């Protein structure tokens, strides 16, 4: 009924969507802590918007292989791919910066329970590693 590639695309899109939901909830949890200096600013606002946008793209890709179709269009496809990569990198970079700043001694009021794995994972990542993660996810997202 379904090919193995279709099943892999659906599973990957589902995991991608769940990760974007987790990222958005993490950013919303930081925003909810009013005493936290990180609860305001461009990272919170843009992180929530970009996470929600990526979540919508993931949900659409579960039901329709929109990425394969849009990436094959001549001018629109290349713009879509570049825009997706920029949005994904921006989201990962925002999560990275928030994770690093939460571990700072000035932001001790910003500790959030339930997101320890995310904070530990992204606080150890560098700028280059965010680029590599973005490229791997983008390649998987457009070729599955």
**pLDDT for res 131:** 94
**pLDDT for res 19:** 94
Residue recorded with tokens 């995310």? 118
CB atoms within 10 A of CB 93: 19
**pLDDT for res 77:** 79
The total of structural domains in the chain comes to 1
pLDDT means over runs of 10, the chain (144 residues): 85 94 92 82 89 93 81 80 93 92 80 86 91 93 81
Q: Which domain holds residue 35?
A: 4-143
pTM > 0.95: no
Asked if 38 and 97 count as a contact pair (C-beta separation under 8 A), the reply is: no
Distance, in Å, from the CA atom of 125 to the CA atom of 122, rounded to the nearest integer, reads: 5
**pLDDT for res 17:** 95
**pLDDT for res 84:** 92
**pLDDT for res 92:** 95
Could you tell me where the DSSP H helices lie in the chain? Answer: 4-32, 42-63, 66-72, 74-102, 116-123, 127-143
């Amino acid at each position: 009924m379904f090919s193995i590639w279709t099943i892999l695309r659906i599973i990957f899109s589902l995991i991608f969507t769940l990760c974007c939901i987790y990222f958005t909830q993490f950013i919303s949890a930081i925003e909810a802590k009013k005493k936290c200096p990180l609860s305001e600013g461009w990272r919170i606002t843009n992180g929530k918007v970009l996470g929600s946008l990526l979540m919508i793209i993931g949900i659409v890709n579960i039901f329709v292989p929109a990425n394969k179709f849009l990436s094959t269009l001549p001018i629109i496809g290349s713009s879509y791919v570049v825009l997706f990569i920029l949005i994904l990198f921006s989201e990962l970079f925002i999560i990275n910066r928030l994770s690093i700043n939460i571990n700072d001694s000035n932001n001790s009021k910003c500790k959030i329970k339930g997101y320890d794995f995310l904070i530990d994972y992204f606080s150890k990542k560098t700028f280059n590693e965010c680029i590599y993660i973005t490229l791997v996810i983008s390649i998987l997202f457009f070729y599955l």
